[in-house]
Each structure stands twice: as structure tokens, then as C-alpha cells.
């Protein structure tokens, strides 16, 4: 048999999805698993959004839409970007995709040529690296300092800029660290992009989940930054709509056309019924209330989790200001006596011995850490962290 694709053979599978699958498998076998692996809200999609889908299915007329999405949805996205982010886009600059992940993938395919360098901040969201490789770009990493909330400074980024730098990925609020960049920090990073002429992909999918700080879109800071930024966002996290698969990009018309063109051959339009529900999600006042309720609940759980973690000896964590993840430094337990040399072994032993699923930090580029998601009930948070406390008590630091 002839050789399969060399490019895709080098792509690693998503470790986060693999661990969530393993936890589900053990649960199905009757094991009492507490999972901190979820990358999605544990709430149902708000009722008004669900009802639009039900009505739409019964009404009929659910054929293909334009590949780049329904015009009323693109208009609703443009109105949202103006209201929430101070950004002016026409609907021809918006492309609705099958989730933010798809919007990111299409953007990378549109912007990159083979060998172009893409700077990402380490810790990074697990898919950025692989998506860049799939688009024949070269990932370049800037190591962020945990003492600076895991945020990279403009100076640190500048050290990695070369003539081949084509794009910088900013993810604020951040998965996996919960870091939220301030306006001033983004301005300094934006100045670099202007000075060295590179694009910015700003992944703002966790925009609505911020706790006591403000989200700023880097595209809103100047006309120059608006022109060179591709804003990515979607409905998954803010509206508890992960499975509906609606995300979008907002960019220059030139880039939007390329994204739409790629999508027209790849997948055609995103699910028509989900697009109608997305209009309701973006336009209804009820959504504002639902989002606020979820945000307040996530913040409460974050506080509980941080409190319990801070009582555990030899463990430290980076305090998150957004999203629903906490990075916990467990490297004090990496030694031969414990039979643990890295985050994968820590996570694996924790799952075997205490039935708690966490994501090893190595999936995000930082092996001293594990990632906990607090998109799970207070009961699970207390139970799971109690088990982690038991687990580390039995280890030698
Ligand atoms: C940082 C980040 N960007 C994008 C996505 C993708 O979201 P979507 O469900 O819209 O594809 C995720 C999902 O986990 C994420 O964490």
C-alpha cells in the first residue's frame, strides 16, 4: 500500500478530548469518576434558543444557506461586535463557521504560506499548534511567566519576531490559564504587530466569562490594529452551545472572502437550524440574563476551587481571571519515589488511584502543571479536590 499523508501523520490527536473520553469510558464501566477535564459549560442551552430550533425544524425551509452563513446572522454578529467590542464590521466581513475552531482553521489556511511563522503564547490552547502545522505554518512559542498570570509581555514576544513572522495568536481570556490581558498590555503587543507588519488572530471565545476584570478586543485599539486583526468568537462557551457548532470570524473583506471560499468547498454552510438559533442567542435580552447567571456561577466555583487548592501543601496555582480553568503546579511531586516524572504520569496515577480526571499540562506546553476545569458542579469540585488532597498527602514532595 502506498504511503498515507506525511503532513497529517505528524498531527497529534487532541489529548484533552482523549482524556475526557477515557473518563467517560471508566464512568460507563460503573467507576465513580470525578472529571475536571470538561472544556464546556455544564448548563443546558437557554430555553428561548432551544425553542427557536424546535420551531425552525417544524416550519421547514431548512436547506442550505450561503456558505458563509445567513445574512441576518452575519448582521447580528456585526451588531454584537459593535455593541460589545466597539468594532464596526459590515456583514461581508463576517463568516459563520462550524465553531470557533473551524473559524481558526479557515483563517490559518487563508493567511499562511508554507514556512510562515506563527507566534503563540505558551501555555497555548491545544489545537493552535496542530492547526498551524496543518496549514503548513511553523509554530513559534513564547514562554509566559506564571508569576505574571501566565501572560506574555510585548518584550518577550519581540524576542521571537523574525522576518518570517506572519501571525500572532492572542487568546484572552485564556484557555488553559484563565489569563485576561489588559488594554495596555494589548496595546504594547499591538504596536509590535504594526512595527513588524504581522497579522493578529484574536481568539475571544471566553469573552463573556471574566471575573472582576474587563475584556478588551485588540482590534478595537486602533484603525491599524483593526485592519490586521482577525477576531474569532462563537456561541459555544457564552451561550452553553458547544454542540451546536456555531463560531465566526470578523476580518478584512479580502480575508473574509478567502475564508468563505475555503469553507464553500470544505463544509458548505454551518448547520442551518443552529444558525437560526444563533440569531436568537445574539439578539435576545434573555441571553444577557442567562450569560450573567452562568458567569456568576463560574466565578463562585472558581473561588471555591481556589480556596481548596490554597489549603493543599506543596501545590500552587495561577489565579484565573476568566474562562473556567485553573492551572495547578504539581511539579513538587515529580520524583522517583512517587513514580511520577511528569504531568502525564501525575494525571494517570491520579485517575487510577483516586478516580479524578485532569488534563496534563504537557498538552498545553507546560509539563509542571495540570489543568482543572471548574465547569462542573460545586459538589464535584469539593469531592474531586478532596480526592486530590488525599492523593498528594500520600506523595513525597
Ligand atoms: C481557546 C479556545 N478557542 C476555541 C475553541 C473552540 O470553540 P468552538 O466550540 O466554538 O469550536 C475552544 C474550545 O475549547 C477554546 O478553548
Query: Which pLDDT score is estimated for 156?
Result: 98
How close is the Cα of 242 to the center of ligand 1, in Å? 9
Share of the chain above pLDDT 70, in %: 100
The mean pLDDT value of the chain amounts to: 96
pLDDT value at 138 more than 80: yes
CA separation, residue 76 to residues 89, 124, 178, 281 (Å): 11, 30, 28, 9
Euclidean distance between CA atoms 394 and 397, whole angstroms: 10
pLDDT value at 17 more than 80: no
DSSP annotation of 86 reads -
Task: Give Cβ neighbours of residue 16 (< 8 Å, ≥ 6 apart).
Answer: 37, 39, 126, 359, 363
Q: Which residues line ligand 1 (CB under 6 A)?
A: 39, 99-101, 125, 171, 175, 203, 205, 234, 236, 242, 247
pLDDT value at 13 more than 90: no
pLDDT in tens, 268-283: 999 999 999 999 999 9
pLDDT value at 233 more than 90: yes
Give me the count of residues in the chain.
Answer: 397
pLDDT class of 19 with cuts at 50, 70, 90: confident
pLDDT in tens, 159-176: 999 999 999 999 999 999
pLDDT value at 39 more than 90: no
Euclidean distance between CA atoms 89 and 79, whole angstroms: 8
Query: Which among 103, 125, 172, 373 is the best mutation to test ligand 1's pocket, defined by most ligand atoms within 8 Å of the CB?
Result: 125
Amino acid at each position: 500500500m502506498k504511503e498515507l499523508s506525511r503532513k497529517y501523520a505528524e498531527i497529534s490527536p487532541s489529548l484533552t478530548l482523549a482524556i475526557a473520553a477515557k473518563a467517560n469510558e471508566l464512568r460507563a464501566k460503573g467507576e465513580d469518576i470525578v472529571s475536571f477535564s470538561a472544556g464546556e459549560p455544564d448548563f443546558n442551552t437557554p430555553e428561548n434558543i432551544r425553542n427557536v430550533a424546535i420551531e425552525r425544524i417544524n416550519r421547514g425551509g431548512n436547506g442550505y444557506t450561503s456558505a458563509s452563513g445567513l445574512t441576518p446572522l452575519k448582521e447580528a454578529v456585526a451588531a454584537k461586535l459593535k455593541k460589545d467590542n466597539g468594532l464596526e464590521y459590515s456583514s461581508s466581513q463576517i463568516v459563520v463557521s462550524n465553531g470557533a475552531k473551524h473559524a481558526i482553521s479557515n483563517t490559518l489556511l487563508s493567511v499562511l504560506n508554507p514556512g510562515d511563522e506563527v507566534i503563540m503564547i505558551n501555555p497555548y490552547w491545544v489545537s493552535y499548534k496542530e492547526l498551524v502545522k496543518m496549514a503548513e505554518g511553523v509554530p513559534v512559542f513564547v514562554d509566559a511567566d506564571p508569576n505574571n498570570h501566565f501572560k506574555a509581555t510585548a518584550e518577550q514576544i519581540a524576542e521571537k519576531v523574525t522576518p518570517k513572522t506572519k501571525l500572532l495568536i492572542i487568546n484572552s481570556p485564556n484557555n488553559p490559564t484563565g489569563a485576561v490581558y489588559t488594554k495596555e498590555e494589548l496595546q504594547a503587543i499591538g504596536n509590535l504587530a504594526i512595527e513588524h507588519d504581522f497579522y493578529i488572530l484574536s481568539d475571544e471565545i471566553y469573552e463573556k466569562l471574566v471575573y472582576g476584570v474587563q475584556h478588551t478586543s485588540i482590534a478595537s485599539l486602533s484603525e491599524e490594529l483593526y485592519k490586521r486583526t482577525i477576531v474569532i468568537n462563537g456561541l459555544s462557551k457564552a451561550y452553553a452551545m458547544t454542540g451546536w457548532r456555531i463560531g465566526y470570524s470578523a476580518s478584512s473583506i479580502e480575508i473574509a472572502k478567502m475564508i468563505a471560499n475555503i469553507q464553500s468547498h470544505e463544509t458548505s454552510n454551518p448547520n442551518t437550524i443552529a444558525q437560526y438559533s444563533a440569531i436568537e442567542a445574539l439578539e435576545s435580552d434573555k441571553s444577557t440574563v442567562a450569560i450573567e447567571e452562568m458567569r456568576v456561577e463560574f466565578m463562585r466555583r472558581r473561588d471555591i476551587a481556589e480556596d481548596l487548592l490554597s489549603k493543599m501543601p506543596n501545590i500552587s496555582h495561577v489565579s484565573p481571571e476568566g474562562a473556567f480553568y485553573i492551572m495547578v503546579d504539581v511539579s513538587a511531586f515529580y520524583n522517583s519515589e512517587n513514580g511520577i516524572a511528569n504531568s502525564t504520569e501525575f494525571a494517570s496515577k491520579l485517575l487510577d488511584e483516586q478516580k479524578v480526571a485532569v488534563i496534563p499540562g504537557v498538552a498545553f506546553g507546560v509539563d509542571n502543571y495540570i489543568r482543572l476545569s471548574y465547569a462542573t458542579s460545586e459538589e464535584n469540585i469539593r469531592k474531586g479536590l478532596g480526592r486530590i488532597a488525599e492523593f498528594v498527602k500520600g506523595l513525597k514532595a
